[in-house]
Amino acid sequence: MMGKINKEIWLASGLRTPFVKENKQLKDVSAVDLSVAVVNKMAQKDQVRPNYLAWGTVVPNLTYSNIARDIVLESDLADETIAYSTTMACSSSILSTIQLASMLTDDETAISGGVESFSNVQLGLSNETSKWIKKLPKLNGVVDKIKWAGKIFKFKLYIPPGVNRVTGKSMGQHAEITAQRLSISRKAQDELALISHQNYFKAKNEGFYDDLIFPAFNVAEDLIPRKDTSLEKLSTLKPVFDREPGKGSITAGNSSLFTDGAAGVWVAGKNRINEFNTPYKAKLTDWEMAAVNIEEEGILMSPTFAITRLLERNNLTYNDIDIWEIHEAFAAQVLSTISNLESPTHLKKMGIKSNLGKFPMEKLNLKGSSISIGHPFGATGARIISQTLKQLHFAGDNKKALISVCADGGLGAIMLIGT
């Protein structure tokens, strides 16, 4: 069967800022400024003028409605660069890359990426308070203004609650529910988290990140990875989302943290890819998205549907993929995903008829992932793409990589790329 890419689209690695925990070293840098730094550095490095900029972000801000256009206007990119913003929670910059792949001609290029500044989450007014304040200019008489002022007790701030609007639960609470349903142990989660940190520092010590990250705003490197962590230390952390004794298993140590950072990646038609200086390039072969019933499947479990559909369509097994990158919102979510991928009952329910085999854990997230590196929602997809392109380059010819990013709302997006 044919995939969803009906033309030759290429990806080339971009750059990213260091990732740091919210309210730390980048707390005074806006999402726009983080993004401008990335696109300026990418344009300077490769000397390519993009036709489009597609930028993902999740945290809302009243100072912009189309952050991508503000980035263009405040950056060194030409004002003629078409720019749009996109949001699909943690999958935002995967989505922006897929969108651009569908739009570009053979002779066009684009920057796809995203940003998050959790340090600058903007507080607002409740809807009722906003309506109350907006009435003031329309009042004429003193009596009406006194009556208006008498309702000041209704003044309320709106603080983003950090939960799914429909379910009222956070992603962590949903991930905990899924982990308990699938019997994902605390020990397995902590082990996966430890491997994430170990893989990150192994890659860092080998210089893997040297040409993927640039110093920005007086920060030279990622500041979230913990070199001295251990299973013993991870095991001492208390569960966050279910504190009932003996039940909860998701902790701060086996979860990704709220993170500040921005990342970008290049998307190009076949006639433009040779203009890029980076050797880290590969074709975008296919993609898939999925949406699931949150209560039945789990809010972060849609990639199990997308992955299996894509592999079956391309006549591939799990082991045919040379590099697996599954975003780590939580170790529990990754392990739950793999559990479902290997479950005959789940595969049958999804209508998968192929024998996809056993999942190759030895190919998973070999350079570290979101638990160790951090997770600025809008930037994570672009960070993973650039990282994967570099891995593919060193893997050699005829290699395949699959990138999977789950998203709030029972959504997710995956990409198949290859040399």
* 200 within 8 A of 372, measured Cβ to Cβ: yes
Amino acid at residue number 241: F
Task: Considering the candidates 90, 174, 327, 346, report the single residue annotated as catalytic.
Answer: 90
DSSP string, 229-260: --HHHHHTSPPSS--STTT----STTB--BEE
- Give the separation between CA 415 and CA 79, rounded to whole angstroms: 30
Is residue 113 a contact partner of residue 43, using CB atoms and an 8 Å limit? no
Residues in CB range of 106: below 8 A, 6 or more apart: 7, 8, 269, 270, 271, 272
- The Cα 176–Cα 418 span in angstroms is 34
Q: Which of 197, 327, 346, 406 does the annotation list as catalytic?
A: 406
Active-site residue, from 197, 327, 346, 375: 375
What's the CA gap between 308 and 388, in Å, rounded?
Answer: 20
- 406 counts as catalytic: yes
- 399 CB-contact burial (10 Å; exposed 0-12 / middle 13-18 / buried 19+): middle
- Residue pair 416/314 in contact by the 8 Å Cβ criterion: yes
Say how many residues make up the chain.
419
**Maximum Cα–Cα distance for the chain, whole Å?**
79
Q: Which residues fall within 8 angstroms of residue 273, CB to CB, at 6 or more apart?
A: 10, 12, 281
Count of CB atoms within 10 A of residue 284's CB? 24
Q: Write the CA distances from 52 to 34, 110, 274, integer angstroms.
A: 18, 5, 18
Is 181 strand, coil or helix? Answer: helix
Kindly list the catalytic residues: 90, 375, 406
